[in-house]
Structure 1
Amino acid sequence: MHRLAHFDVAKTFRRPRSKIAAQLVFGLTCALAMIGLRTLVDFIAPAAGPFALVYPTVLIATLFGHWRGGLVALLVSFGWAWYFVLEATSSFTFVVATDSARVAINFAASSILIIFAEAFRRAVRNNADRAELEIARRKLLMADLEHRTKNNFALVASLLAIQKRQDTTPGIEEALDLAINRIHTFKDAYSNLTLDPDDDSDIDMVEYLSRLTTRVAKASLHENVRIDTDIARMVLPREKAVAIGLFTNEALANCGKYAFADGRAGSVKLRFQQADDDGWTLEILDDGAGNAAKASTEKSGLGSNLFTAFAMQAGAEHEIEIGESGARVVLKSRPAEPSVH
């Protein structure tokens, strides 16, 4: 219906004469179609309702071919019905005295239909044009907002990086690193998003998580810690993708902060897989300090409110396991609730 409401036979033409010609041809085409249909009806009910099909013909011709198309459709279809369908066929004479008034009333009603159909068409078109202009304006504003937001993220990250270089206190340096990584995670999410309503707002998780993992690993993990990724090709809505990215950022930052804090060599494995129920599972495993770092980990808040908040935003449940030979962090989407019929 949306496309039908915007249909206009003259829209594709630029020259005024071409537009008028298209409208006239469309009106004639509608009239010829009505004549063909009326001819078929005559085999079943000859002379019944001679002007009945004129009304929808005029309406369609006016809505999509402007008033010119409607007028052509009226004159051709009405004249044909009067000449060939009304009694005394193949003649404009009236057999019944009241037929003259009948013809005049039908012609007047059809003419009024053109007036109202044209007014309705113009009102719809004007409203559609205003809506399109407003959409274009909002797209421009949203694009500017997106650009400014990404620039602000980059500016804040740069300011924190400058502060980090000026203050080498270990605790403050680690806190600044974590803040910078979080800001970059938001910035990366914005880089993958579009605020154009005509495009979908899903994120390619392969590209997003790969870039995020590379950046966080470079900032948080030692050179002797290898990171392996296995990311399924999947797209997710931006809200969930951003939450998963923040959860991943936090988990990898904790690997560098606790699992390999003593400089030991090791590995981190990140798996993002699609489940059979169209859900997904994020799993991050490390072979770091494990229980040896458990006390400081719990004290610092691994599995704290941040993880819970990110999991809720992603519509998922999280689980953290710390053993003798490392840690395992899992974020798993909740199964979709069955629809109620």
Structure 2
Amino acid sequence: MHTRPVRILHIDDDPALVRLVAKSLARRGFEVENASDIESGLAGIRDGDFDAVVLDHYLSSGTGLSVLNALRDQVDAPPVVYVTGSMEASIAVDALKAGADDYVLKSVGEDFIALLAKALEQAITAARMRHAQIEAENEIRRAKDRAELLLAEVNHRVANSLALVAALVRMQASAIQDPGAKEALAETQARISAIANLHRSLYTSEDVKSVALDDYLSTLVSELDASMAATGYRSRVKLDLESFTVPTDRAVSVGMIVTELLTNAFKYAYPDEQDGEVRLIVRKSDDQTAVLIVEDDGIGWNGQGVAKGTGLGSRIVKAMASTLGSTISYGDGVGGTRTTLVLQGG
């Protein structure tokens, strides 16, 4: 396959040295063009397709440091090998600080050409490696962005599908008269909505690895409140939620637990008045743990004995707590029910 020669721009105003460098580098496979001053040198770098620049320090129009300073703002500027006949170490230091890739001391011997050719090869190789690394990093970022967009779309579609299923369940509940069936469908709708709200939180969030528990639970309670009110339960839920995030895979379990505990409180805490207060609390213990509490001032239950209803809710709570690697603890059942769960953050 044909490849173009390596193109070098030599910025120098010494005709004899320019001819020597051009002839010597040509024998090594380089194609050399010359610019004799700073202005034409910068124009050549800007408009030409050069792989590297050989830059002399002393020029009639200034010093090569002016070229290096100008290149700092140029995107994809070629690597620069700085050349001078001065023995002053400060010039080399200043050139390297200004952005030169390498430094070669000028002489009239063949050693100078060999060192210059070697410095050019190394500078070009390093520049190509940097360019390849940047391209690889850009491609990784593009792939990550595409994956996040696809994941957001998936979460969006899942949330919409689950919302549709919840709406169908609600319509079915409104079409039947049996109270027990109505309650069962209302609980099913609440469980579906808990999962749908999680996916809704994910596609509206920039971080799909974790969920802001306070926002998620606020939305969850709002929909659960409306669902239970439609079946005749009028208890009020008071929220006291500190900001806390949990990993996405744990958020579903937390949502299901909260749904079941609040549903039980709605149904059984206040059998006479039907409109007592239920409190949902999240308190941070430290950066990695928090305590979730659901409590009421109703008739009270300490977690012992046979649960009211089918017992499905209690089994779901126990299973979800096990998934979280935590346990549910209950109060003594005097003066209301208090259920506590320790959460691990993300």
Unaligned runs of 5+ in 2: 1-42, 59-67, 89-104
CA distance in 2, matches of 1:127, 1:225: 57
* TM-score computed with the length of structure 1 as normaliser: 0.64
Q: Residues 209 and 92 (structure 1 numbering): CA distance in 2 closer, same or farther, change over 3 Å?
A: closer
CA distance in 2, matches of 1:112, 1:292: 78
Partner of 1:209: 217
RMSD: 4.2
Confirm or deny that 1:239 pairs with 2:249.
Answer: yes
Q: Residues 294 and 260 (structure 1 numbering): CA distance in 2 closer, same or farther, change over 3 Å?
A: farther
Partner of 1:20: 46
Partner of 2:317: 307
Q: Residues 30 and 149 (structure 1 numbering): CA distance in 2 closer, same or farther, change over 3 Å?
A: farther
Equivalences for residues 320-331 of structure 1 within 5 A: 320-321=330-331, 323=333, 325-331=335-341
* TM-score computed with the length of structure 2 as normaliser: 0.64
Confirm or deny that 1:110 pairs with 2:124.
Answer: no
Q: Residues 334 and 205 (structure 1 numbering): CA distance in 2 closer, same or farther, change over 3 Å?
A: closer
Partner of 1:273: 283
Q: Residues 126 and 229 (structure 1 numbering): CA distance in 2 closer, same or farther, change over 3 Å?
A: closer
What are the Cα deviations for residues 233-263 of structure 1, in whole angstroms up to 9, with x where unaligned? Answer: 3333333443322211110111123333555
Q: Residues 27 and 319 (structure 1 numbering): CA distance in 2 closer, same or farther, change over 3 Å?
A: farther
Aligned 8 A contact 1:23 1:65 in 2: no
How far off its partner does 1:223 sit? 5.5
Equivalences for residues 1-341 of structure 1 within 5 A: 20=46, 66=76, 69-70=78-79, 73-74=80-81, 77-78=82-83, 80=84, 83-85=85-87, 100-194=109-203, 199=207, 201-220=209-228, 222=232, 224-261=234-271, 264-276=274-286, 278-290=288-300, 297=307, 300-301=310-311, 304-321=314-331, 323=333, 325-333=335-343
Aligned 8 A contact 2:78 2:127 in 1: no
Q: Residues 29 and 121 (structure 1 numbering): CA distance in 2 closer, same or farther, change over 3 Å?
A: same
Partner of 2:9: none
Q: Residues 108 and 202 (structure 1 numbering): CA distance in 2 closer, same or farther, change over 3 Å?
A: same
How far off its partner does 1:92 sit? 6.6
Deviates more, 1:167-176 or 1:130-139: 130-139
Partner of 1:7: none
Q: Residues 287 and 31 (structure 1 numbering): CA distance in 2 closer, same or farther, change over 3 Å?
A: farther
Aligned 8 A contact 1:317 1:334 in 2: no
Partner amino acid, structure 2, of 1:249: T
Partner of 1:38: none
Unaligned runs of 5+ in 1: 1-16, 33-57, 95-99, 337-341
Q: Residues 302 and 262 (structure 1 numbering): CA distance in 2 closer, same or farther, change over 3 Å?
A: farther
Partner amino acid, structure 2, of 1:188: N
How far off its partner does 1:160 sit? 1.0
Partner amino acid, structure 2, of 1:297: A
Q: Residues 288 and 29 (structure 1 numbering): CA distance in 2 closer, same or farther, change over 3 Å?
A: farther
Give the total of aligned pairs. Answer: 273
Partner amino acid, structure 2, of 1:117: A
What are the Cα deviations for residues 56-96 of structure 1, in whole angstroms up to 9, with x where unaligned? Answer: xx9xx99x975x632xx22xx22x0xx2239xxxx9765xx
How far off its partner does 1:217 sit? 2.8
CA distance in 2, matches of 1:121, 1:183: 50
CA distance in 2, matches of 1:229, 1:156: 27
Aligned 8 A contact 1:259 1:289 in 2: yes
Q: Residues 128 and 20 (structure 1 numbering): CA distance in 2 closer, same or farther, change over 3 Å?
A: farther
Deviates more, 1:108-117 or 1:261-270: 261-270
CA distance in 2, matches of 1:292, 1:136: 49
Percent identical: 24
CA distance in 2, matches of 1:206, 1:292: 26
When you count strand as a share of all residues, which structure comes out higher? Answer: 2
Aligned 8 A contact 1:146 1:195 in 2: no
